[in-house]
């Protein structure tokens, strides 16, 4: 396993913010998937959790295909493993520093199917957060949360572009909730010996690090979206005064997803919702169901944040950037979703927001020095990757018109290959193909040049008053970026294992 692949995975997490640690100095300019020898198509994760003494037992079954003749392959898991089998035959294995190396007997031929079963049992809290593995197993007052941290609860592919479907079942003490990505099965928990079993199913392939596991005391509610999709929302029972603004925001998810679908095309996944946790520190667009830190609602309801995070279901999850230089295709698109939501809510049009942001920084201002496609890896400024990238999209909209612009956006999401890796060059080619226009100069000015574009995102335009939504959108971008920067610094102080 190469260092670059670990880092590529962490850049992916930043895009879901996804604000995990990014050792940007090791990130290739346009990261590519790596050939780990297997292509995973499905994970079946069966867990049992006990809080005292803390213990997680698991059996994960992996369906995969050999991409070449495989005599050995690696999986990402920190927990202690008791056995591994491949195609119903015991397999030799070694485990060190989060790398589970499996040696099937006999080797598996290229193109052949693999059935891999891994049994493990350990205390995940033994393993601290680490920049090569994730944020870790984070305790809450009533349980634990693992977000962008698959190595703490199931074995997965090291390839940051490898996507698979999921079945997750978690048995927990009776009266405890256990949430994962995907649709809730059986309408709720099933009583089994020793506790309640919660089962979740994700039918659209997703990357391993976009999976969610949250265990604890939650007020969990189920409903249906206007399109008939299952909706699950869950709120920590200890949110206190934050409960009302959190609900006033996250309970609007079906309405917001419906609006996003009108702009970006059909919602990519089979379920919707959100989790608000009092002990979590960030907001992460885990597949189907973002998780929000309760503290993000200290200023009141924040539907704009919900629009941002759910836009990542299209741009960040379905469209899966894995390099620092393509992160703008996740965060810029999600920020532009906030512009569109603002217009939908009558709080300022996308054009007004784009112009106001453009006017904030005159020619020569340092914020223009690092463009979206080449951001400063050491900066905690939200402007290049979030805001300027959103302005680039609005400039594209101005150039090609609304109908063509939204056709570009919809088809960009729907055209992605399951294990594909989007690139900036690919998006530019896509936009030019759909529009039939030469857009090289526009993208050079907005994505690549280290200076203020000579023409604003609306073309020649005069300054406008501050839109009502400007402060909220700006605060969201700054908060997300600062949290990512702070936790990157914290993770980098963790000693090597």
Would you state the pLDDT for residue 36? 80
Would you state the pLDDT for residue 246? 98
- How many other C-beta atoms can be found within 10 angstroms of the C-beta atom of residue 364? 9
Residue 242, Cβ density class (10 Å: 0-12 exposed, 13-18 middle, ≥19 buried): buried
Q: Residue 149: what are its φ and ψ, rounded to 5°?
A: -150, 55
Q: Residue 353: what are its φ and ψ, rounded to 5°?
A: -65, -45
Question: Is 312 part of any known ligand binding site?
Answer: yes
Distance (Å, rounded) from C-alpha 458 to C-alpha 354?
A: 8
Secondary structure of residue 450 in the 3-state scheme = coil
Q: Which CATH number does the domain 324-484 belong to among 3.40.50.720, 1.10.390.10, 3.40.50.300, 3.40.50.2000?
A: 1.10.390.10
Are 315 and 333 in contact by the 8 Å Cβ rule? The answer is yes
Partners of 55 in the beta sheet? 50
pLDDT, one tens digit per residue, over 343-360 is 999 999 999 999 999 999
Residue whose C-alpha is closest to residue 67's, from 5, 110, 104, 114: 110
Q: Which two tokens stand for residue 311?
A: 């836009």
Residue 226, Cβ density class (10 Å: 0-12 exposed, 13-18 middle, ≥19 buried): exposed
Question: Which residues of the chain register pLDDT less than 70?
Answer: 1-35, 483-497
What is the chain's alpha carbon radius of gyration, rounded to the nearest angstrom?
22
pLDDT, one tens digit per residue, over 114-140 is 999 999 999 999 999 998 899 999 999
Question: Is 331 part of any known ligand binding site?
Answer: yes
53: preceding bond cis by omega (within 30 degrees)? yes
Q: Are strands 99-103 and 190-192 parallel, antiparallel or unpaired?
A: unpaired
Would you state the pLDDT for residue 496? 37
Question: Is 308 part of any known ligand binding site?
Answer: yes
Would you state the pLDDT for residue 419? 75
Would you state the pLDDT for residue 489? 53
Residue 399, Cβ density class (10 Å: 0-12 exposed, 13-18 middle, ≥19 buried): middle
Q: Residue 465: what are its φ and ψ, rounded to 5°?
A: -65, 165
Secondary structure of residue 130 in the 3-state scheme = strand
The one-character DSSP state at 71 is: S
Q: Where are the domains of the chain?
A: 324-484
């Amino acid at each position: 396993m190469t260092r670059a692949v670990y880092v590529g995975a962490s850049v992916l997490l930043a895009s879901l913010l996804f604000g995990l640690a990014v050792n940007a100095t090791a990130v290739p300019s346009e990261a590519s998937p790596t050939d780990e020898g297997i292509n995973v198509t499905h994970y079946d994760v069966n867990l049992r959790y006990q809080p005292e003494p803390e213990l997680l037992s698991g059996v994960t079954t992996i369906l995969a295909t050999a991409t070449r003749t495989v005599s050995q392959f690696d999986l990402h898991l920190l927990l202690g493993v008791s056995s591994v089998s491949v195609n119903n035959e015991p397999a030799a294995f070694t485990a060190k520093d989060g790398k589970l190396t499996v040696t099937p007997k006999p080797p598996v031929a290229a193109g052949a199917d693999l059935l891999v079963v891994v049994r493990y049992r350990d205390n995940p809290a033994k393993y601290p957060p680490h920049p090569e593995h994730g944020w870790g197993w984070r305790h809450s007052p009533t349980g634990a949360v693992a977000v962008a941290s698959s190595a703490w609860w199931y074995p997965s592919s090291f390839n940051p572009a490898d996507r698979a479907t999921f079945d997750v079942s978690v048995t927990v003490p009776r009266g405890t909730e256990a949430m994962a990505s995907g649709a809730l099965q059986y309408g709720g928990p099933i009583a089994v010996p020793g506790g309640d079993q919660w089962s979740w199913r994700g039918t659209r392939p997703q990357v391993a690090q976009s999976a969610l596991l949250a265990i604890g005391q939650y007020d969990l509610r189920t409903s249906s979206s206007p399109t008939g999709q299952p909706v699950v929302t869950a709120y920590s029972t200890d949110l206190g005064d934050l409960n009302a603004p959190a609900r006033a925001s996250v309970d609007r998810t079906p309405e917001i997803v419906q609006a996003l679908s009108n702009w970006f095309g059909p919602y990519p996944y089979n379920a919707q919702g959100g989790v608000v946790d009092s002990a979590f520190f960030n907001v992460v667009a885990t597949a189907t169901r973002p998780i929000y830190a309760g503290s993000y609602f200290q200023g009141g309801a924040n539907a704009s944040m919900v629009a941002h995070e759910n836009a990542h279901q299209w741009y960040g999850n379905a469209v899966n950037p894995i390099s620092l230089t393509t992160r703008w295709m996740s965060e810029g698109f999600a920020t532009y979703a906030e512009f569109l939501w603002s217009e939908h809510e009558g709080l300022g049009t996308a054009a007004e927001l784009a112009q106001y942001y453009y006017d904030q920084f005159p020619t020569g201002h340092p914020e223009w020095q690092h463009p979206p496609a080449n951001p400063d890896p050491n900066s905690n400024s939200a402007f290049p990757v979030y805001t300027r990238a959103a302005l680039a999209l609005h400039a594209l909209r101005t150039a090609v018109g609304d109908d063509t612009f939204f056709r570009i956006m919809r088809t960009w999401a729907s055209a992605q290959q399951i294990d594909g890796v989007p690139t900036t060059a690919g998006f530019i080619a896509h936009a030019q193909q759909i529009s039939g226009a030469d857009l090289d100069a526009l993208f050079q000015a907005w994505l690549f040049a280290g200076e203020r574009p000579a023409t604003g995102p609306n073309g020649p335009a005069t300054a406008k008053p501050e839109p009502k939504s400007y402060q909220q959108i700006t605060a969201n971008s700054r908060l997300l970026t600062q949290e990512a920067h702070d936790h990157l610094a914290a993770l980098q102080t963790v000693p090597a294992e």
